[in-house]
Amino acid sequence: MGYEFILYDRQPDDIGVITINRPKVLNALNWQTLRELREFFEYLLPKENLKSLIITGAGDRAFVAGADILEMYNMKDREFQEYVDFAHKVYELIESVPSPCIAAINGYALGGGCELALSCDIRVASEKAKLGFPEVKLGIFPGWGGTQRVTRILGLGRTKELVFTGEMIDANEAFRVGLVEKVVPHESVMEEARRIAHTIANRGPIGVRLAKIAINAGSEMDLKKALLLEKTLVSLCFDSEDRIEGMKAFLDKREPTFKGK
């Protein structure tokens, strides 16, 4: 499938970059963009075997300014429900792929755009970025996982303030409350995302992938079950060649060469 609204670039070190490419509408997500994202994450990504993936927005102004409002306005009831359902599946897919995903937030991350960033594992924001959930201004509310993923990060009160007011916050405030992990100068956002991606790419891939499962799945369980999951998954690492290589490299005082086996 050729892509119309996303760009995919495979870079050295098994790092991929996905760019949402609708800059004229601040990279708003329409059906077709969601379909392309699903196609990429479900069918292409598993073949690419990436160690890390960066998601960003085209142009200089926006990561993603939300769902495409014009398209939503013209939807019929049933279509709207399918659209919501489809977006949920895409975001859950992004959240669960083995490669760690980094959102390089290079501007507005609003509504469905902020929800997309929250489906990623790590968020790096430009100091010019603005984040928020303006949906209540449109007579709806964040329905692509926003009310749930944000609550798990910010807690109830702050989530309600953001969601009920629809007000945007700037990158520094987003950092202060834990919505993004880093704030960097605007021109450095991709560089910082790549730096993190490269660092991850040089770590033991099995350890990173299993840690992602342990953290994501464990965060939805009670502590006892989550610890059991952790024990089980970390034992899988012990059987890997990478574990032997990583420990041997430490003892030999050299950098490890991981094979993902």
Kindly list the residues in this chain that would bind ligand CO8 in the complex (CB under 6 A).
Answer: 25-26, 28, 65-70, 84, 108, 110-112, 134-135, 138, 140, 142-144
Shortest reach from residue 168's CB to ligand CO8, in Å: 8
Smallest separation, CB 99 to ligand CO8 (Å):
25
Q: Smaller CB distance to ligand CO8: residue 67 or 189?
A: 67
Instruction: Check: CB of residue 92 under 8 Å from CB of residue 47.
Output: no
Residue 67: helix, strand or coil by DSSP? strand
Which member of 95, 135, 187, 255 is catalytic?
135
Catalytic residue among 42, 115, 220, 255: 115
Shortest approach of ligand CO8 to residue 194 CB, angstroms? 26
**The token pair that represents 18 in the structure block:** 């996905």
Nearer to ligand CO8, 79 or 241 (CB): 79
Q: Give every strand in the sheet of 108-110, ordered side by side.
A: 62-64, 108-110, 130-132, 168-170
Residue 93: which H helix or E strand, with range?
Answer: helix 77-96
Q: Catalytic residue at 220?
A: no
Let me know if 115 is a catalytic residue.
Answer: yes
**DSSP letter string over 183-238?**
EE-GGGHHHHHHHHHHHHHTS-HHHHHHHHHHHHHHTTS-HHHHHHHHHHHHHHHH
**Distant-in-sequence, close-in-space partners of 35: CB < 8 Å, separation ≥ 6:** 86
Pairing of strands 122-126, 130-132: unpaired
Q: Which is nearer to ligand CO8, 34 or 206 (CB)?
A: 34
Q: How far is the CB of 126 from ligand CO8 (least distance, A)?
A: 14
Instruction: CB nearer to ligand CO8: give 137 or 225.
Output: 137
Q: Give the active site residues.
A: 115, 135
